[in-house]
Amino acid sequence: MKIFVICAAALLLGNLSVSQAQVSSKIKDVLGKLGTSSTDSTKKATTTTNASVSNSPVTKTEANNALKQALSNGLQTSIKSLSVQNGYLGDAVVKILMPEEAQKVEKALRAVGMGSLCDQFITSMNRAAETAVSEAGTVFVNSLSKMTIQDGYNILLSEQQNAATNYFRTNTNAELTTKFTPVIESAMGKNQVSTYWTQLTTAYNKLPLSSKVNTDLTAYVTQKAIDGLFVKVADQELKIRQNLGGARSTELLSKVFGWVDSQ
Distant-in-sequence, close-in-space partners of 23: CB < 8 Å, separation ≥ 6: 13, 14, 15
Q: Is the pLDDT of residue 38 over 60?
A: no
* Amino acid in position 119: D
pLDDT of residue 214: 60
Closest to 218 in 3D by CA, of 191, 238, 258:
191
pLDDT of residue 21: 46
Whether pTM > 0.85 for this model: the answer is no
Question: How long, in residues, is the chain?
Answer: 263
Q: Reduced to 3 states, what is the DSSP secondary structure of residue 75?
A: helix
pLDDT band at 121 (very low <50, low <70, confident <90, very high): confident
pLDDT of residue 213: 65
pLDDT band at 51 (very low <50, low <70, confident <90, very high): very low
Instruction: Taking residues 138-155, report their average pLDDT.
Output: 91
Percent of the chain with pLDDT over 90: 49
Q: Where are the alpha helices (DSSP H) in the chain?
A: 2-12, 20-35, 39-42, 47-53, 60-82, 103-111, 115-132, 136-146, 149-157, 163-190, 193-205, 217-242, 251-262
Q: Reduced to 3 states, what is the DSSP secondary structure of residue 125?
A: helix
The answer to whether the CB of 251 falls within 8 A of the CB of 48 is no
Closest to 4 in 3D by CA, of 250, 239, 256, 213:
250
